[in-house]
Amino acid sequence: MENKGNVLMHKYEIGRLLGQGTFAKVHHARDLKTGMSVAIKMIDKEKVFKVGMMDQIKREISVMRLIRHPNVVELYEVMATKTKIYFVMEYVKGGELFNKVAKGKLKEHVARKYFQQLISAVDYCHSRGVSHRDLKPENLLLDENENLKVSDFGLSALSESKRQDGLLHTTCGTPAYVAPEVINRKGYDGAKADIWSCGVILYVLLAGYLPFRDPNLMEMYRKIAKGEFKCPNWFAPEVRKLLSKILDPNPNTRISIAKIMENSWVRKDLQSRPCVLAAEVKEPAPLDSEAVFGINEISCAAVEPKQEVAKPCNLNAFDIISFSAGFDLSGLFEEKEQKKEVRFTSNKPASTIISKLEDIAKRLRLKIKKKDGGFLKIEGSKEGRKGVMGIDAEIFEITPFFHLVEMKKSSGDTVEYQKVVKQDIRPALKDIVWSWQGEQQREQLQLQEQQELQPSHASTTQVVSTQNSA
C-alpha cells in the first residue's frame, strides 16, 4: 500500500529524490490522475516521535493549509500510513534563490522583483497570523517563470503561540538572518522579526554577500545587536535609506510592511497581479492534524507512557549558543546589570529535576504558582525589600538524558534572590547537578593564577593548558 512499484497510495508515481534531511526525504512525483508534477515530502514518524517533533509537524500542516498565495509553496494534501507522513506539495522546479545569489549580486530590477514578491507573501502570512521565522534565500524557491515561492514553514509560528505578554519566546532561525530581539531571548514580535530577515535578504540580493558577517560569531552577533552594516557604493541612495529603516535594531521603530509597500523604490516597476480570492481556490478536504499522528497508526506511540510531567523544551542551536558561558550574549543588550539568572546541567530525568525543585520550594516555604511542562514559577510567601521574590525555573532538553536548567529572578530584590540561590538552593541541588555554568571558567582562571605564581614552569603549563582548552 505504501509504495508498491513506485506508486504511492495508488495516486502518485514516485520519481527522483530532490532532497534529504534527518527526518524526511523529498521526491518528485506525478499525479496519476492529472499528470501534474508534485513534490512529496516523506517524514519518518518514528524518528519524529523520538525527538519530540510532533507539535512542529502539526504546526507546519496547520500553517501551510492557512496560506494560499501565489508566492507561497502550496500544500495540496497530507496523507499518512503507520510509518510515514506524506506532504503532497506544489513542485517548484527552478531551485533555490540561494543558487542565484551564490553566483554573485543580482541586477537591481531583478532583486526588486524578488523583494516585491517576498514582501507580498510575508504580508499575506502576517495577515493570517503566521510568522515564518526562518526567511533566507535557501527557503525561497523559483518556479519555471522565475517567480518566487516561500517554502519551509517548519519553524513558523501562529498567533496563538504567543505567551501572555503577546510575544514569541522561541529562539530560532538562521544566525546571519535573525533579528537582534530574537537573540536577546526576552520575547519578540514574529512579524517584526520577519521584516528584519526580509531586509537582510534584500541586502544579499543586491550585494552578493551578507550585511552582518564576521568569522567570529560573537562579533557578528554584536554587529546584529547594534545594527552595524555598510552598504556597497553601487547601492542607490533610496535603497540605503530603506535598508536603514528595515535593519533597525529597535523593533518598535523598525519600518512596517505597509510602509515598505508604499516605498517609492519598492513600487518601481511593480506589475499588478491578480488577487487570489478564497472563492477561486479549491479548498482541500478537511484534515485533522492529530489524525496524522493517530495512536493506532504507529506502534512506538504506545511504547511511550503518558507522564504527568510534560516534556521540557528541546534546545536548538541558538539556545545552546546563548546558554553557553563562552557565548553569553547578554552583554550585547544589557549593560552594568547584575546577573539575574543561574544555569546548571543535569543527567537526571526532567521529572526528577522538577520533584527536587518542588521539594526545595516546600522546605524554603516558597509557593509553586505555575507548573507547565518543563517550566515552574516559584514565589516567596512574604514581602521583601522590593516586593515578593519570584523565581522562574525552566528545563531544556539537550538530549533525552541530559538537561539544562535555567533559574532567574522574575520579581523582587536581586540581592535577596542571589542570597537564597547561593545559601539555600545551590547546596540543596548538589545531588542532581552535573555542573554549574561558569564554574569551569573559574577553575581555569584559578589554574592560570597558580601558573603565574610558578614562573619556572610557566611555559610548560601554558602549552598544556592551551592543548586542553583546544
Burial class (CB in 10 A: 0-12, 13-18, 19+), 56: middle
What is the enclosing helix (H) or strand (E) of 417? helix 414-420
Q: Is 82 annotated as a binding residue?
A: no
Annotated active-site residue 134? The verdict is yes
Same domain membership, residue 124 and residue 106: yes
pLDDT in tens, 377-398: 888 878 777 888 889 888 877 6
Same domain membership, residue 115 and residue 67: no
How far is it, in rounded angstroms, from Cα 427 to Cα 103? 57
CA contacts within 13 A on the Cβ side of 382: 5
Q: Is the pLDDT of residue 140 over 90?
A: yes
Same domain membership, residue 256 and residue 147: yes
Is residue 286 a part of any domain in this protein? no
Among the listed ranges 330-344, 374-388, 408-422, 446-460, which one has the minimum average pLDDT value? Answer: 446-460
pTM of the full structure: 0.62
How far is it, in rounded angstroms, from Cα 30 to Cα 7? 9
pLDDT in tens, 321-369: 455 544 444 454 444 445 567 888 888 888 888 888 989 988 888 888 7
Is residue 307 a part of any domain in this protein? no
The residue segments making up the domain with residue 266 are 97-271
What is the distance of C-alpha 72 from the center of its chain? 20
Q: What percent of the chain has pLDDT over 90?
A: 33
Q: Is the pLDDT of residue 466 over 50?
A: no
- Of residues 31, 123, 134, 248, which has the active-site annotation? 134
pLDDT in tens, 157-186: 554 444 444 444 444 446 789 899 887 767
CATH of the domain at 262: 1.10.510.10
The answer for residues whose C-beta is within 8 angstroms of residue 249's C-beta and 6 or more apart is 180, 224, 225, 226, 227
Same domain membership, residue 152 and residue 45: no
CATH of the domain at 365: 3.30.310.80
Same domain membership, residue 212 and residue 317: no
> pLDDT band at residue 241, thresholds of 50, 70 and 90?
very high
What is the distance of C-alpha 189 from the center of its chain? 13
Q: Which of 97, 104, 96, 61 is nearest to 80 (CA)?
A: 61
> pLDDT band at residue 72, thresholds of 50, 70 and 90?
very high
Could you give the number of structural domains in the chain? 3
pLDDT in tens, 197-216: 999 999 999 999 999 988 77
Same domain membership, residue 22 and residue 129: no
Is residue 291 a part of any domain in this protein? no
Same domain membership, residue 342 and residue 216: no
CATH of the domain at 51: 3.30.200.20
Cell digits of residue 114: 524578488
Q: Which of 374, 380, 441 is nearest to 406 (CA)?
A: 374
